[in-house]
């Protein structure tokens, strides 16, 4: 349950807020007291089409519950449009305090069949979009000496998944972007954190389920409703999270995970240096015991949601 008043006086931009996780975060932030810019261009999961209807539905939910919200239908994947998204917050509510980078599309296909358009379309929305919207808010955050970024990453990037080279690369890139923002803007009291959400939504409905194991996995995923991610996003946007910066979290049903960052785990040294032959004979065998297997997200986090 969202703590009422936790975001009183704050203004949040939530991209991709026309449905799923984005809608639940926008609604939760509004219930916590924030004025919300609902950004959504209303496209299909693959990024085609466009309609303001999903955003209108989110606004109706917020207003029916006594909250304040406006709609913006600009695309995150364009520098100028991203400026308009942030400006909508300034024009409507006079400030901006929270950016939630949630907008996304999928073009799932095996790497050896992936086209240039499959790649660039996903990178443009997820990674470029996260940068463009974050950068558009940065000047305002710096001037007011406060602000919070919440970026949606994915275990597809943190761990790995089949058929998602574009999505995985974008989502892991967002982690690096978030850490860089945290490092560069901590002097201005600006925080940047990531959430790897677990939820059944349009973004997971395309996962193939042809084997009994895959069908069982999907049945477990379907139990994880999008609203389970909203409390963590509200918290990270609030002043209560003032000392939380540069971290990677995950929300899975009633679990919250903290993910590790990449660090050296083992080393080998040879005073005389290495040749390719010596690496093959001595260096790599010494490191091999610490190799990670070719895990997918479901292999690492395979227990039932709790």
- Please give the C-alpha separations between residue 262 and each of 24, 40, 62, 239, in angstroms, as whole numbers: 30, 33, 39, 28
Tell me the pLDDT tens digit for each residue of 282-293.
Answer: 999 999 999 999
One DSSP character per residue, 83-127 reads: HHHHHHHHHHHS---EEEE---------GGG--HHHHHHHHIIII
One DSSP character per residue, 148-179 reads: EEEEE--HHHHT--TT-HHHHHHHHHHHHHHH
Residue 303 resides in a domain? no
- With cut-offs at 50, 70 and 90, classify the pLDDT of residue 203: very low
Kindly report which listed range (7-16, 35-44, 261-270) carries the lowest average pLDDT score: 35-44
Strand partners of residue 39: 15, 72
Q: Output the pLDDT for position 302.
A: 79
CATH number, domain with residue 133: 3.40.50.720
Residue 233 resides in a domain? yes
- Active-site annotation holds for 149: no
Query: Domain limits at 113?
Result: 11-261
pTM of the model: 0.90
Tally the domains of the chain: 1
Residue 65 resides in a domain? yes
- With cut-offs at 50, 70 and 90, classify the pLDDT of residue 223: confident
Residue 282 resides in a domain? no
Is there a contact between 196 and 248 (Cβ–Cβ < 8 Å)? yes
- Please give the C-alpha separations between residue 16 and each of 25, 109, 159, in angstroms, as whole numbers: 10, 22, 24
Q: Output the pLDDT for position 298.
A: 83
Residue 226 resides in a domain? yes
Tell me the pLDDT tens digit for each residue of 82-130.
Answer: 999 999 999 999 999 999 999 999 999 999 999 999 999 999 999 999 9
Residue 289 resides in a domain? no
Residue 266 resides in a domain? no
């Amino acid at each position: 349950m969202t703590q009422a008043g936790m975001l009183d006086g704050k203004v949040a931009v939530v991209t991709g807020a026309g449905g799923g996780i984005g809608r639940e975060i926008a609604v939760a932030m509004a219930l916590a007291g924030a004025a919300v810019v609902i950004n959504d261009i209303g496209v299909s999961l693959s990024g085609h089409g466009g309609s303001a209807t999903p955003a209108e539905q989110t606004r109706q939910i917020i207003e029916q519950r006594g909250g304040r919200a406006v709609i913006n239908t600009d695309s995150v994947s364009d520098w100028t449009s991203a400026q308009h998204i942030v400006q909508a917050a300034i024009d409507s509510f006079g400030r901006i305090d929270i950016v939630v980078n949630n907008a996304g599309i999928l073009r799932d296909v095996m790497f050896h069949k992936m086209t240039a358009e499959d790649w660039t379309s996903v990178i443009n929305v997820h990674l470029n979009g996260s940068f463009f919207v974050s950068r558009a808010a940065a000047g305002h955050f710096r001037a007011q000496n406060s602000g919070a970024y919440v970026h949606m990453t994915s275990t597809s990037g943190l761990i790995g998944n089949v058929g998602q080279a574009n999505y995985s690369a974008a989502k892991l890139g967002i982690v690096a972007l978030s850490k860089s923002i945290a490092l560069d803007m901590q002097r201005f009291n600006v925080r940047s954190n990531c959430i790897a959400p677990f939820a059944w939504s349009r973004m997971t409905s395309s996962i193939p389920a042809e084997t009994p194991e895959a069908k069982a996995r999907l049945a477990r995923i379907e139990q994880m409703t999008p609203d389970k991610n909203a409390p963590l996003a509200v918290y990270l946007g609030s002043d209560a999270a003032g000392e939380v910066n540069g971290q990677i979290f995950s929300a899975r049903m009633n679990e919250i995970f903290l993910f590790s960052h990449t660090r050296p785990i083992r080393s080998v040294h040879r005073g005389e240096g290495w040749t390719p032959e010596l690496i093959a004979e001595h260096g790599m065998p010494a490191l091999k015991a610490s190799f990670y297997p070719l895990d997918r997200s479901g292999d690492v986090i395979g227990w039932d949601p709790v």
